[in-house]
Structure 1
Amino acid sequence: MPAPKIIKIGQNTALILASIVLSLVIAEIALRLTGIGKYSLYDRILFFTKPSLVRTGDKTVRYEPRTKIRSVAIYGDEVDYDIVYGTNNLGFVDDVDYNFDSAPGKKVVFVGDSFTAGDGGNQSWISQLRRRLDRPEISLYNLGITGAGVKQFQQLLTSVKDGAHFDEINIMVIGNDFFRTLWYPLIQDQALWFCQQENTKECVENYPPVMYIANYNDSQEELVDRAKKLYETKGSSEEPKLNFLQQLRLYNLACDVYSLGKNQSSLVHFCPHLKFNQANEYDKNELYKNALASLREIKNSFPNAVVRVVHIPEKGETFSNKYSLEIGSDIKQIGLEYVPLLEICTWNRDMYHKHDAHFNDLGYHNLTECILENLF
């Protein structure tokens, strides 16, 4: 390649990267001035009471069975939510126990991540749906686990497959679920990590905790004070490291901000997630391809069930009314139903917590009504 052309490419690359950085700075200033985003996801300190997440004998991750779990999300010096939810006999968030064999009639399961589990809500949305549906001949199950990805959805369904003959399987997803690898919970020094390998020392040394352990009766003032100390510790770290998912989110955010109103085809070399809408399956990110493979395996494992992918809207997506990761065509190619909740129901920022990405009670109510109207 001629030297002038190489220089030109280098200049263009530097210009794009500089523009991305500038766009991020402008976006950060705007968000903070408007109060929309005073804190980012990485300013959060999340507390869970112990016991909470456990690895079961079948190697799936669930909540501790039959326990009350308190979850507190603190951003800076503000408590964004402080909730308590109960788990049933199988370690899932619900106010009824699950006995698949004895359940009458039609069996409908919802499997997913923290949105499915109901993080941030004061009431179990699956319980609300059960009451609103008011049809005893239909049994509803919530297999949502915080932090889970598509591969873990498959694991959870496989773990109950022998005893559960589901008629409908609703795989509740957000875009990040397609990039989450398998993990297991590790508690050490009053903190909890999501470890992706058996080398716990490497996990603890290289990555920050996902959440911290709190006592059930700790006051909010005590937790805010503790959070401040944890912020100081995080701020004094010489080389804070982000895991792959955090790095991906930050870079994708930069790309999203920079690409607004621009021709995305010219940016795909710098913003891989923008390529998803234009490339065939073989060009896509390996994690994304693995997630699609897991969806195929779910379909094949439950040949007699209706299997659909229900796409939950994230807070940022309600601004543009567009999914940041378009998965519809890939889902349909697998032979699964695709339900884009963002497109078929009304959503707005008031349905999410002030700083946190999860639904508040209004959001979970809207989720309940949206599913009731479109899936039953």
Structure 2
Amino acid sequence: MIYFDNSATTKPYTEVLDAFVKVSSDYYGNPSSLHQAGGQAEKLLSQARSQTAKLLGVKSSEIVFTSGGTEGNNLAIKGTALAHKGRGKHIITTTIEHASVHNAVKQLEESGFEVTYVPVNAAGQVSSADIKKAIRKDTILVSVIHINNEVGSVQPIWEIGQMLQGFPKILFHVDHVQGAGKLPLDLYDCGIDLCTISGHKFHGLKGTGALFIREGVNISPLLSGGDQEGRKRGGTENVAGMVAMAKALRMSLDLQDKKSAHLKQILGTIRAGLEILPEVTIHTPVHSAAPHILNFSIEGLKAEVFVHALEQKGIYVSTTSACSSKRHAPSKTLLAMGVPARLAESAIRVSLSYDNRLEEAEILLKAVSDTAIQLGEVIK
């Protein structure tokens, strides 16, 4: 099997699975319990929090553990809205956000909030100047994805953060789910107040994640309960999952330092091979793009059919994001970039991990070419 759907989820590292099993088996106490077993679990949770914070370059007290990207994004956005609605009910985001951001602000619109959706250019990038133009006196939050999950366009997070320094009452949230372990992001230097990561995107386990909440920032919890997670997220903590996530993040960041050039070489090989196919249109920009995502269309072919045809050859890719792939609708990201609907409907996403090999890229290119010919003949 050749797995090129790593933006949907990654294969957990063996060491990560081992850590999860070890903690689940030997340190299963509730970290809120007063007895020794609870104390041992609490110590492990604290160590995982400290390690996660250190890897992200922030303070331990600024890390809230969550169940993943969707919860983290919802907590950041709705938590900000609930806590600051007395000051304003206007939110700014972009037209290319992940569904967990897009649908969260849509839900807030139903509750009386106003949302401005700032457009992107043909490369799938938003302008900090356009965001500044959208700011109003009642704006309380700007939420921008770091790396778009469908086309891999990288947003100018530092520029946006610097611009927002002139508006200290506006909180800045960044969805860093696709960037963690792939592209560095200095949370302090970029002026970020809230930042989301998800464990299963960097070889951790599903159901694990974290939200960075800068010291001094106030948001309301979505899950009311006990005093866990600094009263930002009630519920018994997933100790084993968070220990495993911290290990996965450390291992991924180590590989980021060692194998980034390798990842770019594989993606570059795939792009070069696709560019010479006359029926292919590549949507991922050449510059300011992630090192692990490539989105392209084959005109006249349905994306779902193409995905299943490649699957028959043992190659796994995807259409839009996994969260939206079953709706059979054109990618809203591509439409926002000005891509015609006929091409958006045939878009394929290839997404890599550090485990992928150069020879897999060559196998993929031959399979794409052969499959395009085969399906084209069927259509004719």
Shorter chain as normaliser: what TM range?
A: under 0.3
> TM-score with structure 1 length normalisation?
0.26
> TM-score with structure 2 length normalisation?
0.26
The structure with the greater share of residues assigned to strand is: 1
Identify the structure with bigger relative contact order (alpha carbons < 8 Å, sequence gap 6+): 2
